[in-house]
Amino acid sequence: MLQGQAVSFEELAAPWSKGKVLILVEMLDVHFCDQMDNALAIIKGLELRSDGQNNLFDQFLQQGYLVMREEISQENKSRAIQIVDYFRQKSLQAAAKAYLFIDEELIEYSADNMASSLDILKGIDLNSIDSVAI
């Protein structure tokens, strides 16, 4: 008989980030992700490059998960935080979730009900802001 054990997603994914900055992107809806506008938005947000031999986005569509790992540095941490924030956009919430792990610790994820910086900026009416004299 197989032995069972209940584990959290964090317990499963965290070891992949040992000594690294790790972004894990989980696809929620392949058809939504494969729509041209959504696909381009995801490719842009992840800064994916494709060539004739290696199309990471197509592999993501087939496999359902994308893992990006880099050495721990302030630059890599900042970029990873930006990626998670990018996936907080209302327009991408049905497409995918992004998780940020740093050295085996879940730092943040895009499905945390926080507004994305981009959505906030889109909602600001610059015409209604009074000029401030300095």
Q: Is residue 100 in a domain?
A: yes
Question: Can you read off the two tokens belonging to residue 10?
Answer: 């964090």
In tens, the pLDDT along 39-94 reads 999 999 998 876 655 689 999 999 999 999 999 999 999 999 999 999 999 999 99
Range 29-52 burial, b when 16+ CB lie within 10 A, else e: eeeebeeeebbebbeebbeeeeee
Q: Is residue 39 in a domain?
A: yes
φ/ψ region of 41 (left if φ > 0, alpha if ψ in -120 to 50, else beta) reads: alpha
Question: Can you read off the two tokens belonging to residue 18?
Answer: 């040992």
- Cα(83)–Cα(47) distance, rounded to whole angstroms? 9
Number of domains in the chain: 1
Task: Kindly report the pTM of this predicted structure.
Answer: 0.82
At residue 104 the predicted structure's pLDDT band, cuts being 50, 70 and 90, is very high
Write out the residue range of the structural domain in which residue 39 sits.
16-124
Q: Is residue 4 in a domain?
A: no
- Cα(92)–Cα(29) distance, rounded to whole angstroms? 10
